Amino acid sequence: MYDVMNGVRVIEVAEHTFVPAAGMVLADWGADVIKVERAQGGDAARHMKLPGADGAINPFFEAANRGKRGIALDLIQPAGREQLYRLIDGADVFLTNLRADARQKLGIEAADLMARNPRLIYARGTGYGLRGALANDGGFDYPSAWCRAGAANAQALPGDMPPRQPGSIGDLTGGVTLAGAIAAALFRRERTGQGAVVDNALYMVGTYLMSQSLLATSIGAPTIPVQSQVDSDFALANNYRTRDGRWISLCLLMDKWWPDFIAHIERPDLLEDPRFIDIRARHVNSRALIAVLNDVFAGRDYADWCTRLASLEGVWAPVQNPAEVLADAQALENGFVSPVADRYLTGVSPAQFDERPVGELRMGPGFGQHTDEVLREIGVAESELAVLREAGVIR
């Protein structure tokens, strides 16, 4: 972990991935993040399983909860809420994604908690924002950030089902942006002493990611059309299948890269072909160039192309699978992929400090693993812990 947030205490009452991912990022940066789970069952993500997976490590939970301490409280009971309030009194940040009706019922709205701790940064994540007909509706990243915000439509070929997003892309993007907003609010507090309410919504994450297309539409400009591989208007910004069924992705947007690319694919004849003589001609004759390049890339295996293109001046990438990413020297040497407690490898929060990787990372907490430890820190006596446990207030 980094030390840039050492001394910052975060109390998290949140489930699933979006808002817990913000807590995970803050933990990566050095904050003491205390995850408060329901005493009856805990975070719903604990009970989600990958099809066919039967391991001790649950990716749905770990991917958003590493590095935290975990306690289990029954917030329905007044005694449980009292423990939460005592935690809030000494906290810097409160994180939640409970809906408005649940926050009101539990007495954990911004006004409730900031009345106790005016310096608190109160951060909440929602599906669709605080206003409008959907304000109290739940959301997940696929419907809220991907579909409603237009990304699925932007990727769907005519007549085809809109493609599904990779797992939790919107949630994790929302988490890191919420963490950044919290850091900004903490910075202002250091200067002014003023607490803050910070909001993010999955729908807002989606509209931000689609902002270029939304801007173009708002001024009547054409957006990039959805095209198949063979019909693309950008032959040199396309994917090509290799002889063994893998893919190579090209993004050769600069005209100056064309001669070097031709040398790498060993087709000098294309330099003199009038259809491809300059960038405009290659755009007009894109489909013809795609047909040529499909034949070229189909002539060699993926590994051969990766070796041959390693010295290419322009931008390209192998289309890797997860196992290849985990073994990729570029990711490993830069610390983009890191071990967690020597139990698994994962992608880390997308920021580095002082030109060094994040370092040692801890796994997510077991259910109620740190309940006694954390409550002792706020002055709960052993006799009181026993009473709370007997009443089912803590686990």
Smallest CA-to-CA distance from 44 within 122, 138, 109, 110 is with 138
How far is the C-alpha of 259 from the C-alpha of 60, rounded, in Å? Answer: 46
Residues sharing a CB contact under 8 Å with residue 317, sequence separation 6 or more, in sequence order: 248, 249, 251
Catalytic entry in 171, 231, 278, 301 = 171
CA of 116: how far to CAs of 91, 111, 370, in Å?
11, 9, 24
Indicate if the alpha-carbon torsion angle 13, 19, 22, 27 is positive or negative.
Answer: positive
Instruction: Return d(Cα 242, Cα 251) in angstroms, integer.
Output: 17
Which of 25, 32, 114, 20 lies closest to 378, judged by CA?
32
CB-count burial class (<10 Å; 0-12, 13-18, 19+) for 92: buried
The answer to whether residue 171 is catalytic is: yes
353, β-bridge pairs: 356
Taking a C-beta distance cutoff of 8 angstroms, is the pair 361, 338 a contact?
yes
The alpha-carbon radius of gyration of the chain (Å, integer) is 25
| Chain centroid, CA 181 distance in Å | 15
Whole-number Cα distances in Å, 328 to 67, 324, 325, 347:
24, 6, 5, 12
Positions marked active-site: 171
